[in-house]
Amino acid sequence: MWALRCLQGCRQHGIRLGIVTLCLAAAGWTLQTQGKVSLLVSQPHINATVAQNVLLSVAYTCKGRPVIEWKYTSTSGTTKIAKWKPGSYTNISSSYTGRVNIYDNGSLQLLSVNMRDSGYYLVTVVETLGTSMYGTILLNVYEILYEDLHFVAVFFAFLMAVSAILICLMWLCNKSVHLLQKERHQLKASTTEETELQTMGC
């Protein structure tokens, strides 16, 4: 009798334990689903020239409004650029004030970049429940080589000079041919006149 009661108690306890386990598993799955965040970096490597505006384009998906943060990393260290929550608040570092534009999709635009802006840019998207995703973009900023532009300008001027010389030569050739034709015509006319005079017996 005691064994039967013990068995029934174990069954009830096992059912309760199973229900509690099932509830905990469902709650954990719900938290994982709600806290899931994904991040897409469309162009992880960007080349730009000095004074160009550069868009560091990303896109995230998550439930709720996450906190987005951008940092710049180079050999000299790491610098915070901006941190914001779309529709809530925006904090832009004083060294980047007036130099960046931020967007609700997480993208960041750098205005009039220079050589010192070359390096890695780290974006972090943190969901309200604490789930986070990271992405990096490597930016290389190149200086416009004025020596190359000078070479192109000199080469273009050389081509123009050669073209002008060729046009002058063509004009001279045309003029020479015209003079030769005129002399032949005059010579032919004088020959014809002499022939007519001989025929007339003069």
Same domain, 128 and 178: no
Domain assignment present for residue 201? The answer is no
Q: How far apart are CA 68 and CA 128, in angstroms?
A: 11
Domain assignment present for residue 15? The answer is no
- How many structural domains is the chain composed of? 2
For the chain, list the strands marked E by DSSP.
37-41, 45-49, 54-56, 58-62, 67-74, 77-85, 89-92, 100-102, 108-110, 119-126, 132-142
Q: pTM of this prediction?
A: 0.58
Same domain, 130 and 167: no
Same domain, 133 and 43: yes
Query: Which residue range(s) make up the domain with 171?
Result: 145-195
Residue type, 12: Q
Of 101, 118, 143, the residue that ends a domain is 143
Residue type, 110: L
Same domain, 139 and 152: no
Same domain, 41 and 108: yes
Same domain, 131 and 168: no
Give 68's contacts (C-beta < 8 A, 6+ positions apart): 60, 83, 84, 85, 86, 102, 106, 123, 124, 125, 126
Q: What is the pLDDT of residues 77-92, one digit of tens each?
A: 999 999 999 989 999 9
Q: What is the pLDDT of residues 94-140, one digit of tens each?
A: 999 999 999 999 999 999 999 999 999 999 999 988 899 999 999 99
Q: What is the pLDDT of residues 35-68, one digit of tens each?
A: 589 999 999 999 999 999 999 999 999 888 899 9
The per-residue DSSP string of 85-131 comes to: ETTTEEEE-GGGTTTEEE-TTS-EEE-S--GGG-EEEEEEEE-TTS-
Highest mean pLDDT among 33-42, 76-85, 151-160, 188-197: 76-85
Give 110's contacts (C-beta < 8 A, 6+ positions apart): 53, 54, 56, 99, 100, 117, 139
Same domain, 59 and 108: yes
Same domain, 127 and 165: no
Same domain, 43 and 118: yes
CATH number at residue 74: 2.60.40.10
What is the pLDDT of the chain when averaged over all its residues? 81
Same domain, 94 and 176: no
Give 114's contacts (C-beta < 8 A, 6+ positions apart): 50, 51, 141
Same domain, 130 and 152: no
Same domain, 127 and 150: no
Spatial CA neighbour of 99 closest among 90, 108, 107: 108
Domain assignment present for residue 106? The answer is yes
Confidence class of residue 200 from pLDDT cuts 50, 70 and 90? low
CA dihedral for 24, 25, 30, 35, sign (positive or negative): positive
